[in-house]
Amino acid sequence: MARGTWGGALDPSIFRVTIRFMRGGSHCQTSFKLRDVAVNDNSPQEVADSVANAMLGTFKGQLLVTDTVEGIDVLKLGTEEGGWHPFGPAEGQGGLGLDVAGQGLPSFVAANLSLKSEIRKKYGQGRMFLPIANDNYVDGNVLNQSGVNNTNTVVNVLTQNYTGDPLTHDLILVNAHPALPQVMAPGQEGYRPAIPASWYDVVSLRLNNAVTMLRSRKLGVGS
């Protein structure tokens, strides 16, 4: 498994990628992080364009025809450099998905996708929340098989484009964190030394079939 630090002169660039969309009249988002492989030859705008090309069609399938994908926002961590790929906006392609009240599912209903590295510590793990808009994809509080299949289309795109051998990819899915301070003093229970700003390659993506209710769908909350 590859791991390393970010923010130094010789370190790879780490990008926070945020997909912004409208769900049931609410501004929503979900995000993940990518590292530049090898020679740091990608700008934030190039990353935004790459993700848009890879994911737009699949992500639209997660939304209703009354929803829209607004664009891909990218920030290069540790800098003020960013990129934005607008969608115009693009309408969802997931059907009406109406329940008996004539509404799709609320915007705070989501699927929890765990992003696992080989570091079995909380700081080495990540997650993102994918929208569940179509009422026909949920039975009780879990995704049914149709819902799992639909959500897995996004999982498959992320896996195929951004995980695996770095020699065959330009961008790799990672978990990343800023510098973490030392915890406790040496010799004390729970001691952990300080950890520099670090990244860890994601080696598996695991979909939780239990539906998640986010406390907020405001921008900056939930992913």
For residue 38, what is the DSSP state?
S
The predicted model gives 73-87 an average pLDDT of 96
Q: Which H or E run contains 92?
A: none
| Residue 221 reports pLDDT greater than 70 | no
Through-space distance between the first and last CA atoms of the chain, rounded to whole angstroms: 24
Q: Is residue 179 part of a domain?
A: yes
**In sequence order, which ranges of 18-169 are alpha helices (DSSP H)?**
44-60, 145-162
What is the pTM for the complete model shown?
0.90
**In sequence order, which ranges of 91-208 are alpha helices (DSSP H)?**
145-162
Tens digit of pLDDT for each residue in 84-93? 999 987 888 8
Q: Is residue 221 part of a domain?
A: no
Which residue range(s) make up the domain with 85? 3-209
Q: Is residue 21 part of a domain?
A: yes
Q: Is residue 219 part of a domain?
A: no
Q: Specify whether the CB–CB gap between 93 and 187 falls below 8 A.
A: no
Tell me the β-bridge partners of 201. Answer: 174
Q: Is residue 220 part of a domain?
A: no
Beta strands in the chain (DSSP E): 3-5, 14-23, 26-36, 68-76, 82-91, 109-116, 126-131, 138-139, 142-143, 171-177, 198-201, 204-213
Higher pLDDT pick, 102 / 20 = 20
As for how many domains the chain has, the answer is 1
Banded pLDDT at 202 (limits 50, 70, 90): very high
Q: Specify whether the CB–CB gap between 118 and 174 falls below 8 A.
A: no
Banded pLDDT at 62 (limits 50, 70, 90): very high
Q: Is residue 59 part of a domain?
A: yes
Whose tokens are 């939304």? That residue is: 63
Q: Is residue 217 part of a domain?
A: no
